[in-house]
Structure 1
Amino acid sequence: MQYIKKIFITIIAVFVTVSTVTSNVVITNALDDVNEYAIMREKFHDMAVGGDYDINDPVVQPMLKSINDTAQMYWDNMNKNPVSNAKNGSYMNEDDSALDPNLDPSKDYIFPEYPLGKRRSGSSSYINANSIQFTYQYIRAMALAYETKGCALYQNKDMLEDIKMALEFMNKYHYNQDFKQGDKTVPYGNWFSWRLGAPVYLGETLLLLYDDLDKEVIDKYAATMEEFVNWTSFTGANSTWNERVSMYTGLLTEKESYMSHIQSVMPTVLKYTEPGDGSFPDGYYEDGTFIQHTTFPYNGGYGLMCLTDTAYLLYMLSGTKWDLGEASANIVYDWVIDSYEPMVYNGLSMDAFRGREITRSDTTQPRGALIIANAMLMLSENAPENIQEQFKGCIKQWFSNDFMIEQMNASADTPWYKFPLDTVVKVNSILNNDSITPISFDGTTYQMNNGARTIHWSKEGWAYTIAMSSPTIKTYEGGDSNNKGWYIGNGATYLYTNDLERTEGVEKATKDWYRIPGATSVYGRNQGTQYNLNPFAGGVTDGVYGVSGMDLSMTTHDLKAKKSWFMFDDEVVALGSNISGQYDVETTLENYKIDSENRTYYVDGNKQTMTMDGTEIAYDNAKTFHMSGNVEDSDIGFYFPNNLDINVKSETRSGTWSSLGEYNRDTNTYSADYFTAWMDHSENGNGANDSSYSYVLLPGKSVDETTEYATNSDIEIIRQDDKAHAVYEKSL
């Protein structure tokens, strides 16, 4: 690596110089005298800018363009002459009840989507604090382009001056050590932005520009980080974020207390968490679950950050006196194997594990997988050979499709994604290495019962995920995003096939959130986040096949249902019984974002044409239903063992990202076409009483294969009542 070469060249030069001056001097501790902070700063910089690569290599050019285009966009939109009239960072009047009319906030911003200063009262100022974090995030992106060879903005002095202006403006008016915390509360709004988000991006900016900023300037900005770094107790991902801030503060101030703090705290993170008395503390569990905020499965959200920051700390500290050791690395290898390898399907980090991040426009399923891959690559730097082979085999499987390559090459603006160019270089090296064999998990079922989640990988190459809720796991998390995730924990199911794009793009901004596949819901009426009143939620597996069930009981709308899923070789049998509730109770079969050429479906083998005008069409006593996927091998068939009345609708839907929460600043309206099928358990909207359903999901089967399956079905429903659900698969 470049930084290692520089260190050894320096040591050799010193040795030669000294030995020519006097033969009486013996060099015994040359390495001990090396500034380990400088080594680590160089180590960070080397990986951040992609290491040693050929700027003309077509493999890296798309990412160089992504890094450059991101920075150029931010620079073009930048306010070069910001003005702050805030008093101690606030535009509120003295009693914090309203904006002070004497203070003009109109020019107080660096980037227009993130107005600075407190502009709301009380807890609603949450979003104002976020603007500090996101402003530093954009500045960091500009610094990355400035430091990355091959970018058109590489070493652009005009941009550097604007970066310096922005850093000074932020320090003078909105983020400095004079914003006293007192009893460790933050000045206003979201504590995360003050203590973790802003110092992460500020720290990385200072490390990137370390040779371009005066030391007194770095010291001044680092003093702000010292003010806000918090050594009180954090849990889960917040703990590793905090240690990342501690490391950056240590590298900038060269104060050992920040580095030794990492050594003292990380052992409390690097272990499996045990369930409490009726609760689940934050952290990783041995069944593969990661919990954050004690009630939400978050492998692909907060857990993602816990993984990548832990891998990052292990990598950065390796070989230094603050090395976290082999035992620490071993448990992180287990986290990857148990909690992440099963939940990435051909490059998609499954939505059922991403919490509120599913509705953040900049944190998609592919980008989640990129961050996981980045963590695995960092771990592979020092991992045993067998672990390296496994990690690289998974990465090869995930990125062996054009969609993921496109996503990777355009991912420079992904939040928290540390080393996009380094990832591109290493992923392409893996793809071009014929000795690395792709690893898939076909024919495996995982039951992550601590998080009320199931993952089934069929032998046919598709995957299926179930999201449930329980007295310890809530239905969904909202906040600044995901404010329409009402029914996710009511049995939402996620089918993964070759159609990798159907749940990406503008799908989250435009979908009908009342009709989530698999979920039993009340159409048109919200359900706040809540626990399932019944403890029956989870499943069992023999390793290949699986059974999951949930006794759903929600306070809202008095909604109840007994739901089960039987996952076999080429089918999933879904049963529901004892369904009751107020208003329009439904269970959704499918809610599919379709392309412009996908306009037909089949009921009982008869071809139907989509109207695309939103008309609801009812089919009574149906035996089969089939819809075409957007790509090859993505068709979906349904067989109804007891015949079902179903409803379908095809339409163009429109929506905005900002409607999903204030995290998203994009207010543009987007549109997409959908085909939806569901079962109505109510009569004229007057509620449901002891309703039921049974269907067999047949992913990848053509309309003829679906009809043939219905004629000679492999399954037999043994029992479906208030006591038990049982299914017999006759061909296994």
Structure 2
Amino acid sequence: MSRRSLLGLGELALLPGGAAAPLNAGPLNGALSDDGDLARIGHRWRALATRPGTAAVRAIAPTATSLWPDLPYPSYTETPARLLAMARTGDPALADPVARGIEHYVRHVYTPGASADGNWWNWRIGIPRRLLEAALLIGPSRADRPLVEAVDHFVHPCHLAAYEGHSTAANRVDLCQVMLLRAVVGADPARAALAASALTPVFPYVSEGDGLYRDGTFIQHSTVPYQGGYGRVLLSGLATLFAVLRGTRWATSDQRVFDLVEKSFAPFMHDGFCMDLVSGRGIGRHPYGDRRRGREVAQAVLLLGESASPAERTRWRGLVRGWGFADLAPEAETVEPAEGHRLMAMSARAVHRRREWVAGLSMASYRIAHYEHGNGENLRGWHTGAGMLYWWARGHREQYSDHFWQSVDPYRLPGTTVSTLRLPDGAGAAWGGECPPARWVGGATDGHFACVGQHLYGLGSTLEAFKSWFFLDDAVLCLGAGIRCADGVPVETIVDNRRTDAALTLGGGWAHLAGHGGYVVDGPLRTLREERGTVRRAYTTLWLDHGTDPDAASYRYLLLPGASPELTRARAADPGWVDVLANTDRGQGVSVASAGLTAVNFWQPGTVGPLTASAPCAVLVRERGDGTATLTVADPRRDLDGLTVTWDRPVAAVVRGHPLLTRARTGRRLTLRWGRLADRGGSSKTVVVRLQSAK
């Protein structure tokens, strides 16, 4: 969608009745005059969809088996897409060829007598969405009636009756778009009403399965975090529907959708791309696919802004510019992404943002899949949910872009702990159907720091491990414990795998990669420099070898994004900078005195340093310079009816409590009793206390 299209939509909205002449020449379907609201929708859709002069047009050459020799039937995707691209040019000379092409395709492929072979999506969404929009753009033609009859055969109103199966979340929004286009092309107000009303189940927050969650999570295919794929489709589709329905009797919107922009999508946008950790099986679909997805999210946000409040619209334009899309919002004042930590417990994803670097973490749990494959895509994404730690410092925009997924060693993804047991392509159930049994996946965050953990089970493996990440101001401390496996092969933890051939310097207990950052590592660090892939790309891999069939192995390393060799060396020489309080399969905890931070992931009830917990949980304490401290707890397992946490530190009073805090005892130590946390989605709960003055 171009900026011109957005401006055109705004102009249409300001004209009397909202039914100004379309941007491109030529009349709409003549039947639209019978209903002003349908006419208004058609005009607005044309304003959004017309893209003058952007398609490489090829003359059609119809035969019984194709419209173009290079696209033999059934060509479920390419042929309808090419017809739509021709229609979007707005060139009146192409109206007749497009009409003949639609008619031909409906006669030979998308015909009511055809068997809907292959993926259901092609028949109910992909094909009808493209052909109907093409028909709308070129105006009335002889192709309209056969097309409408074909669509009615494959896309029935019953598909919008129950919110289940293939009719949820992004798929439901797509089906509503198809139904609305069918209403406009076929002059059917009843179907327009159905398209609008059927959106209603998309808006409420869910606690399981497909849809939107309170913490910003978006899930599709029941188990796959998907803001970068289906979520992007949902956002764009809702933005389109809100825009074209505005001012008609079927107008609809919901504040929860507007909230998605900053709560659900913004955390995963960075430097012109959308992070792969929320893009499902689509990560390896195209080189630079993360950039394409990022631009499409930005365009959807701008379009949604046309239906939002003026304040939201202005702020989002600044966000889009701050994400790296100045060409889409040239007049906006840049809004830089906010520093802090976002933990989306319901999708087992985390993003840690600092001014000079950003990190993203991808995990798997009993409700979030190891990975997704399907339609022959992402067949080697086996370990993307095994604690993959992405990170970008300045100048690292291409780190996981370009041909990363086509060339990286899939057994050595950064941050993961894996069995090197060879797996078949597409191991595990397709479409996100393979989840580990782990319940303790998540952590606690006060919005600035975080302690995140994953009880790891390997895919198709006997591997089990306990992994923790402590996200700090200029570092990520990574701990692993209880690493066990009986696969008869070595087990490795991948400290990093950078797509670079930059100079690597190794010191005593540390390593530095020029232009990238530093690493402080306990134990022997193994390294490999290689070129990989059919399109050759250089890689530098750093890993820890736990040996064959380890029993209770562990690791500890510090990642320093963007650090200089001097800082890396200094951290290695100062073991007291961070105090590891515990690193076992019962608990993993750290203390960073300079930050006033103490944080523990309790895998079992017990005591770690000054903190004691009555049940498995995550606890993060931060002492502030004003004589107060915050104590944050979370229930990553989502099964606690109650929790007691004790901090062995003199506390004078609780300054700000929490509705779930049932009792607090201050004095020589602080004891907090919490009520039911099980139904809070693993979210973090924070109280503020005033410390006792030292005497």
| Common topology (TM > 0.5) | yes
Corresponding residue to 1:446 among 318, 325, 342: 342
CA separation in 1, counterparts of 2:225 and 2:189? 35
CA separation in 2, counterparts of 1:285 and 1:9? 35
Q: Which amino acid aligns with 2:116?
A: P
Q: Which amino acid aligns with 2:38?
A: Y
Unaligned 5+ segments in structure 1 are 13-30, 51-63, 85-107, 118-130, 148-153, 180-185, 406-423, 605-621, 630-634, 656-669
CA separation in 1, counterparts of 2:478 and 2:45? 50
Corresponding residue to 1:703 among 554, 565, 583: 565
Q: Which residue of 2 aligns with 1:679?
A: 544
Q: TM-score, normalised by structure 2?
A: 0.76
Quote the offset at 1:488 in angstroms.
1.0
Structure (1/2) with the larger helix percentage: 1
CA separation in 2, counterparts of 1:502 and 1:365? 11
Please state whether the residue corresponding to 1:300 is helix, strand or coil: helix
Corresponding residue to 1:693 among 543, 552, 555: 555
Q: Which amino acid aligns with 1:456?
A: H
Cα 1:651–1:136 shift into 2, 3 Å? same
CA separation in 1, counterparts of 2:147 and 2:15? 28
Q: Which residue of 1 aligns with 2:238?
A: 310
Q: Which residue of 2 aligns with 1:263?
A: 196
Corresponding residue to 1:340 among 260, 265, 272: 265
Quote the offset at 1:456 in angstroms.
1.1
Corresponding residue to 1:652 among 524, 527, 531: 531
1:468 aligns with 2:363: yes
Quote the offset at 1:497 in angstroms.
2.4
Corresponding residue to 1:514 among 388, 407, 411: 411
Matches for 1:141-160 after TM superposition, within 5 Å: 141-144=85-88, 146-147=89-90, 154=91, 157=93
Cα 1:495–1:217 shift into 2, 3 Å? same
In the alignment, is the contact (CA less than 8 A) between 1:637 and 1:700 conserved in 2? yes
Q: Which residue of 1 aligns with 2:284?
A: 359
Quote the offset at 1:715 in angstroms.
1.4
Q: Which amino acid aligns with 2:511?
A: F
Q: Which residue of 2 aligns with 1:578?
A: 482
Quote the offset at 1:316 in angstroms.
1.0
Q: Which residue of 2 aligns with 1:82?
A: 63
Please state whether the residue corresponding to 2:216 is helix, strand or coil: coil
Q: Which amino acid aligns with 1:268?
A: P
1:43 aligns with 2:24: no
In the alignment, is the contact (CA less than 8 A) between 2:235 and 2:300 conserved in 1? yes
1:283 aligns with 2:164: no
In the alignment, is the contact (CA less than 8 A) between 1:468 and 1:489 conserved in 2? yes
User: Could you report, residue by residue, the CA deviation over 1:557-580 in whole angstroms, capped at 9, with x for unpaired residues?
Assistant: 201111000001110000001112
Matches for 1:595-610 after TM superposition, within 5 Å: 598-604=501-507
1:505 aligns with 2:505: no
Q: Which residue of 2 aligns with 1:636?
A: 517
Please state whether the residue corresponding to 2:152 is helix, strand or coil: helix
Q: Which amino acid aligns with 1:41?
A: G
Quote the offset at 1:256 in angstroms.
1.1
Unaligned 5+ segments in structure 2 are 1-7, 22-31, 596-695
Q: TM-score, normalised by structure 1?
A: 0.72
In the alignment, is the contact (CA less than 8 A) between 1:534 and 1:552 conserved in 2? yes
1:431 aligns with 2:330: yes
In the alignment, is the contact (CA less than 8 A) between 1:519 and 1:587 conserved in 2? yes
Quote the offset at 1:308 in angstroms.
1.4
In the alignment, is the contact (CA less than 8 A) between 1:533 and 1:554 conserved in 2? no
1:719 aligns with 2:582: yes
Cα 1:322–1:708 shift into 2, 3 Å? same
Q: Which residue of 2 aligns with 1:625?
A: 511
Quote the offset at 1:478 in angstroms.
0.3
Q: Which residue of 1 aligns with 2:183?
A: 250
CA separation in 1, counterparts of 2:121 and 2:288? 18
Quote the offset at 1:649 in angstroms.
1.5
In the alignment, is the contact (CA less than 8 A) between 1:577 and 1:692 conserved in 2? yes
Quote the offset at 1:162 in angstroms.
4.7
Comparing 356-365 and 540-549, the one that deviates more: 356-365
Q: Which amino acid aligns with 1:270?
A: F
In the alignment, is the contact (CA less than 8 A) between 1:241 and 1:309 conserved in 2? yes
In the alignment, is the contact (CA less than 8 A) between 1:3 and 1:39 conserved in 2? no
Quote the offset at 1:709 in angstroms.
2.2
Matches for 1:12-91 after TM superposition, within 5 Å: 35-49=36-50, 67-68=54-55, 71-72=56-57, 75=58, 80-84=61-65
Quote the offset at 1:492 in angstroms.
0.9
1:136 aligns with 2:84: no
Q: Which amino acid aligns with 2:212?
A: Y
Quote the offset at 1:711 in angstroms.
2.1
Q: Whose relative contact order is higher, 1 or 2, with alpha carbons under 8 Å and at least 6 apart?
A: 1
Quote the offset at 1:4 in angstroms.
5.7
Cα 1:187–1:585 shift into 2, 3 Å? same
Q: Which residue of 1 aligns with 2:606?
A: none
In the alignment, is the contact (CA less than 8 A) between 1:80 and 1:162 conserved in 2? no
Please state whether the residue corresponding to 1:484 is helix, strand or coil: coil
Matches for 1:379-418 after TM superposition, within 5 Å: 379-399=304-324
Quote the offset at 1:500 in angstroms.
0.6
CA separation in 2, counterparts of 1:628 and 1:245? 51
Corresponding residue to 1:228 among 143, 154, 159: 154
User: Could you report, residue by residue, the CA deviation over 1:159-203 in whole angstroms, capped at 9, with x for unpaired residues?
Assistant: 655544432321111012333xxxxxx621100111011111112
Aligned pairs, number? 557
1:301 aligns with 2:229: yes
Q: Which residue of 1 aligns with 2:683?
A: none
CA separation in 1, counterparts of 2:183 and 2:16? 20
Q: Which residue of 1 aligns with 2:294?
A: 369
Please state whether the residue corresponding to 1:681 is helix, strand or coil: strand
User: Could you report, residue by residue, the CA deviation over 1:248-280 in whole angstroms, capped at 9, with x for unpaired residues?
Assistant: 10110110121111232111111111x2xxxx2
